[in-house]
Structure 1
Amino acid sequence: MSNELPAFDNPPPPFPDPPPYIPGTRNDADEVVQPVILVLAGHFVRAQTSDGSPLYELSRDICNSELGTSQLSQVSFNRIISNVRLTADGAPRVHNRHKHVSELKYLPPVLSTGFSYCLDAMSRHAMGNLALKTASFPRSGLKIVRIKPESGSSQSGSRALKESPKEVQDVFDVRKKRGHYEWIQSGEDRIAFEEEAEGLHKLIVTSPLKRKTIDALVGSWCLRIWHDSLEPPNKFSLGCELISLM
């Protein structure tokens, strides 16, 4: 009796590797994310793929804000993390959890002495607290800068504190070119550009980026869109000029 195993004319194909399991305690800030097209649809940021997987979630729709610019307003920004786990019968199951990355925050003049539109970090692995400002003359556009929170007593005599953040570093240059915004990582090449079609905002990320960088990029993109939905385009520039002269 032969001990050799029978040969197959057409051996079965190998099973594909399952998606990697990412434990909740792992620091993924330095994970590299490949270029991707992102679409803001309602309060979700989705990948422009066949299944349109949601990658980020906002606590509300920032394109149709009903709030004015006279009151404090915040929007939570969460990354959706998908983990693959096996059920009791061995079948793979996708489990989603939310990571609170940052808070989009608008501060009315009575509460702010500098930056009205901020992105407050909620994770110790984030790039830090960021803010939106206009670019210096003669280049038109915006900047995303890292800020260091400070506090000072309100001049009105109330008990409330005004936030007086100090700018410490440029993070992104946001330049308007041929009718759309281009995102440049400070001191480097373009990493993304925006498109708008059929009422949808798109961010085309053109370079591989670390996870903490793309979290900051997408959050800053949402902050820019939220700013434009709250007030006319020219109002922001005028406000910053007035602040700089005070």
Structure 2
Amino acid sequence: MEANSQSLPLPCEEANEGPSKDFLDPTILVLAGQSVVCETAPAIPLYQMNWNVTSLPPKGSSVVFERVVEHGQAETAEGTAPSKPQNRHLFYLAHPPGAQLSNEKPAYYITSVLPEMLGNISLEAVKSRLQKPELKARLPEEDHGGIPVVAYEDGKGEPHRLVVTAPMERRIRDALVATWCLRLWHDTAESRQARTEALERWTPPESMRGYGDMKMAKTAGALGAVAGAGGGAC
């Protein structure tokens, strides 16, 4: 997705439900640890996960993705006060162990928990015009055409920001944000750093020590050969 240099000082909708919120305004979303927040209201989480998908090493093979829901006002001894936010479980983000070795299941996919949500969404690697691999989200056949391209990532690195440029139905944005988080998980888990750390975790210490000893022995042998060829002259 191409970044747009135009500034979008857009408001963030309240994290609640109701007929007036069937369609949500454009906004800028930011990944903040285990939460997704609005850039203009970072203290109020809109979505919550059970671990940070950009952390290493990954905390498991699935992620619970929830929408944070406000239930209005609660009665207290002093009167009324905002009620404590509740989480509504929407999706599981999944990356089964060994999925890259199997052709039966996608390596990264989303499973919906609620029947009204979009169905299973998977990430597939495709070749672009520049012959570089890209990721595309594949939706079930009945949902094709339901999600136009209405968002892009602003910049690279942290914080991760998603700019939503058009109003959209709540369930569509839920799926869009979940897919974005799945893609961030993919990029983190498939990075060179992640692969190196995984190799170190799975390699027995004895093997690493033996590899180090062998490397030192080869280096010492090479230095000895150089010294012999030079006749010991300085």
Q: TM-score range by the shorter chain?
A: 0.5 to 0.7
Q: Which residue of 2 aligns with 1:134?
A: 125
- Aligned 1:148-163 pairs, distance under 5 A: none
Local SS of the residue matching 1:104: strand
Local SS of the residue matching 2:85: strand
Task: Find out whether 1:102 has 2:95 as its counterpart.
Answer: no
Q: Which residue of 1 aligns with 2:116?
A: 125
Q: How far, CA to CA, are the matches of 1:34 and 1:67 in structure 2?
A: 33
- Residue segments in structure 2 that go unaligned for 5+ positions in a row: 1-13, 193-234
Task: Find out whether 1:193 has 2:184 as its counterpart.
Answer: no
Which amino acid counterpart does residue 146 of structure 1 have in structure 2? Answer: L
Match among 31, 38, 53 for residue 29 of structure 2: 38
Higher helix share: 2
Q: Which residue of 1 aligns with 2:10?
A: none
Size of the aligned set, in residue pairs, is: 174
Which amino acid counterpart does residue 188 of structure 2 have in structure 1? Answer: S
Match among 202, 205, 209 for residue 164 of structure 2: 205
Match among 22, 46, 62 for residue 55 of structure 1: 46
* 1:183-211 CA-partner distances (Å, limit 9, x unpaired): xx75x4x3011024662100010000100
Task: Report the CA distance shift for 1:44/1:133 in structure 2 as closer, same or farther (over 3 A).
Answer: same
Q: Which residue of 2 aligns with 1:83?
A: 71
Displacement, 1:49?
1.3
Conservation of the 8 A alpha-carbon contact between 2:15 and 2:46? no
Conservation of the 8 A alpha-carbon contact between 1:144 and 1:171? no
Task: Report the CA distance shift for 1:195/1:171 in structure 2 as closer, same or farther (over 3 A).
Answer: farther
**TM-score normalised by structure 1 residue count:** 0.61
Task: Report the CA distance shift for 1:116/1:171 in structure 2 as closer, same or farther (over 3 A).
Answer: farther
Q: How far, CA to CA, are the matches of 1:113 and 1:79 in structure 2?
A: 30
Local SS of the residue matching 1:227: helix
Which amino acid counterpart does residue 128 of structure 1 have in structure 2? Answer: G
Q: Which residue of 1 aligns with 2:183?
A: 224
Q: How far, CA to CA, are the matches of 1:78 and 1:124 in structure 2?
A: 15
Conservation of the 8 A alpha-carbon contact between 1:40 and 1:201? yes
Displacement, 1:136?
5.2
Q: Percent identity?
A: 27
**TM-score normalised by structure 2 residue count:** 0.64
Displacement, 1:80?
0.1
* 1:190-233 CA-partner distances (Å, limit 9, x unpaired): 30110246621000100001001000000000000000000138
Higher Cα radius of gyration: 2
Task: Report the CA distance shift for 1:116/1:195 in structure 2 as closer, same or farther (over 3 A).
Answer: same
Mean CA deviation greater in 200-209 or 90-99: 90-99
Task: Report the CA distance shift for 1:93/1:232 in structure 2 as closer, same or farther (over 3 A).
Answer: closer
* 1:5-32 CA-partner distances (Å, limit 9, x unpaired): xxxxxxxxxxxxxx8975xxx7x7x810
Q: How far, CA to CA, are the matches of 1:21 and 1:197 in structure 2?
A: 30
Match among 59, 74, 93 for residue 82 of structure 2: 93
Local SS of the residue matching 2:139: strand
Which amino acid counterpart does residue 121 of structure 1 have in structure 2? Answer: S
Higher strand share: 1
C-alpha root-mean-square deviation of aligned residues, in Å? Answer: 3.1
Q: How far, CA to CA, are the matches of 1:67 and 1:51 in structure 2?
A: 24
Task: Report the CA distance shift for 1:118/1:51 in structure 2 as closer, same or farther (over 3 A).
Answer: closer
Q: How far, CA to CA, are the matches of 1:99 and 1:217 in structure 2?
A: 16
Which amino acid counterpart does residue 178 of structure 2 have in structure 1? Answer: G
Displacement, 1:64?
1.1
Q: How far, CA to CA, are the matches of 2:182 and 2:121 in structure 1?
A: 10
